[in-house]
Amino acid sequence: MDVGFIGLGGMGRAITENMLKAGHRVRVWNRSRERAEPLAALGAEIVDTAAHAFAGDAVFSMLADDAAARDIFDAALLEAAPRDLVHVNMATISVACAEALAHQHAARGIHYVAAPVMGRPDVAAAAKLTIIAAGPAEAIDRVQPVFDAIGQKTWRLGSLPQHANIVKLAANFTLASAVETLGEASALLAGHGVAMTDFLDVITSSVFPGPVYSGYGKLIAQRSYEPAQFKARLGLKDVNLTLAAAEACATPLPIGSVVRDSLLDAIAHGEGEYDFAVLGEVAARRAGR
């Protein structure tokens, strides 16, 4: 396929590399061009504007937040885009922003698919992402070959794009809650002289197997927060989006408020660029350890 890609952070670069390896033609754009340049050696075409990437069979985007999405996907860009183009937005954005983008695209004859992903940059590099997709079925069908090149499974959640975004936010909220409790458990264990690694051996071999408890638990046990695979400040962004979505439908999320405050604690201590596992440091600090 002939596709564009907008947004070349750690996730975007890894996804684009796998698109190129699968033989797709990819035009790339990023606000800072130096992030795009390494991809040229792999066969990507670097374009000068986001509008030049917004062409071909489809365009994929992986931007940081709502503000970036609204800034780049403005009326001028959408008016100039080819009709019947498919735009796949892979970012974790708010439900309200997803709804607005879907309406703006539809009004201009552009298919809008929300496809946030589960997985850190190392998972993206291994083409093992879990893709949560929602939007017009025929549009998802058209980009499925690209999804197959970058992920291990695509979960289709119907025709409303915002449904993919709320599922991703709920998943991130669940993950954040798990990391918070791992951090608190680590502080509790330390208070009684028990090694976190011994605890992890027990729970990951029995009731809590899987990458969340083993991966984040190991980082907390080692107090290893750099280099960050998922930064604490981005975790705070996602938790805030989840709380906003909860408020919109009058749903209390008391644990969400606790996790938000823990992440604010980390950021107040200059740890916003550290890995999300820094919640373990926050719990230790609260306990005077």
CATH number at residue 224: 1.10.1040.10
Query: What are the tens digits of pLDDT across the range 167-198?
Result: 999 999 999 999 999 999 999 999 999 999 99
Same-domain status, 153 and 171: no
Same-domain status, 150 and 7: yes
Same-domain status, 124 and 214: no
> Among the options 21, 128, 153, 168, which is catalytic?
168
Q: How many domains does the chain have?
A: 2
Question: Please, which pLDDT band fits residue 65 given cuts at 50, 70 and 90?
Answer: very high
Same-domain status, 29 and 133: yes
Q: Rounded CA gap, 168 and 148, in Å?
A: 19
Average confidence score pLDDT of the chain: 97
Q: What is the pLDDT of residue 228?
A: 94
Chain Cα centroid distance, residue 215? 17
Closest CA to 125 of 219, 20, 260, 14: 14
Q: Rounded CA gap, 167 and 238, in Å?
A: 12
CATH classification at residue 33: 3.40.50.720
Same-domain status, 184 and 60: no
Domain termination site, one of 159, 192, 209: 159
Q: What is the pLDDT of residue 70?
A: 94
pLDDT of 87 above 90: yes
Query: What are the tens digits of pLDDT across the range 8-26?
Result: 999 999 999 999 999 999 9
Q: What is the pLDDT of residue 155?
A: 98
Same-domain status, 54 and 153: yes
Decide if 168 is catalytic: yes
Residue 262: both structure tokens together = 């823990």
The mean pLDDT of 35-59, rounded to a whole number, is 95
Q: Is 189 exposed, middle or buried (0-12, 13-18, 19+ CB in 10 A)?
A: middle
Domain termination site, one of 125, 141, 159: 159
Residue 220: both structure tokens together = 């907390």
Same-domain status, 265 and 129: no
Chain Cα centroid distance, residue 187? 28
Same-domain status, 178 and 119: no
Same-domain status, 142 and 201: no
Query: What are the tens digits of pLDDT across the range 199-222?
Result: 999 999 999 999 999 999 999 999
What is the span of the domain harbouring residue 275?
165-286
Domain termination site, one of 105, 132, 159: 159
Q: What is the pLDDT of residue 289?
A: 86
Same-domain status, 256 and 124: no
Same-domain status, 182 and 261: yes
Q: Rounded CA gap, 182 and 140, in Å?
A: 37
Query: What are the tens digits of pLDDT across the range 227-283?
Result: 999 999 999 999 999 999 999 999 999 999 999 999 999 999 999 999 999 999 999
Same-domain status, 89 and 129: yes
% residues pLDDT > 70 (the chain): 100
